[in-house]
Amino acid sequence: MHADPLYGIIGHPLGHTMSPPLHNWALAQAGLPGRYEAWPTKPGQLADFMAGMRQRPISGASVTIPHKLAVMDFLDAVTDTAKSVGAVNTLHWDGDALCGHNTDAEGFAHPLLALPKTPASALVLGAGGAARAVLAGLALAGVTTVLLANRSPEKAESLAKEFGAEAVPWDDRGLVQAQLVVNTTPMGMAGEHEHASPLPEGHCLSPNQTVYDIVYNPLRTKLLRRAEDSGCPTIDGLSMFIHQAQGQFRLWTGRDFDPTGARKLLMGLLGQ
């Protein structure tokens, strides 16, 4: 008799990760057996976890900070998508081969593909790991002109070159008139950065700009509140989170879950 499938998330710290309630809800909604757990894993514990994943019957796993790059060394194969992003956020089995994939780019692109018109230009704020998925997602969505601003000009130049974008100085970010503005920095995130915005104080947004913040806790960041006050369409970070999770769920189970129901569940968890 086979044990029920086991899924989970590895990362450190995992804190209040919403992946377990989301995936367990999705399994229940689909009438599928199995459970999804949180597995806090420090960098020094990754090798042991990955060895254990091959021994224990773990059917799939989500990967978050700080393991999205390091985990690649322990895999039998990495998909082209994960290679293009330069990071893995999903582990799955292909027969006996343990594979790494990335659903962050498609998760980010999903709400853009639903817009009435694809933005012709985008300004990406930040050049960390999240920005890589965003740049790959902008390419998926068909955004042709991409500008990248980061406090470290070297990181901005390097990442822009890799993805065919153009680096602009951090101090000039308020001068860029892109149709889409994307925050990939922690500015606005619950905690020490909650009252910060990645755009300069006093910067005026135009109502024809769409503002997308991948931070989802809080749901309405300072940046999104300013955008709403300026009459801009906004996209919050739950959209990316839900659709990257849906990509994982589909890979593991062959099934989809209802994104509207997922959003309702997560907004309840966020106290919205």
> Which residues belong to the active site?
68
Q: Are 122 and 143 in contact (CB under 8 A)?
A: yes
List Cα–Cα distances, 79 to 74, 116, 120, 168, in angstroms. 14, 31, 28, 31
Tell which residue, 271, 241, 237, has the closest CA to residue 259. 241
In eight-state DSSP terms, residue 11 is E
CA distance 169 to 1: 60
3-state helix, strand, coil in the chain (%, to 5): 40, 20, 40
User: What is the number of other CB atoms lying within 10 angstroms of the CB of residue 77?
Assistant: 11
Distance CA 34, CA 21 (A): 13
Q: State the burial class of residue 66 (Cβ atoms within 10 Å of its Cβ: 0-12, 13-18, 19+).
A: middle
Phi-psi region of 212 (alpha: psi -120 to 50; beta: other; left: phi over 0): beta
**Residue 244: closest CA among 82, 86, 124:** 82
Q: For residues 125 and 223, is the Cβ–Cβ distance under 8 A?
A: no
Coil, strand or helix at 246: helix
Pairing, β 97-101 against β 90-94: antiparallel
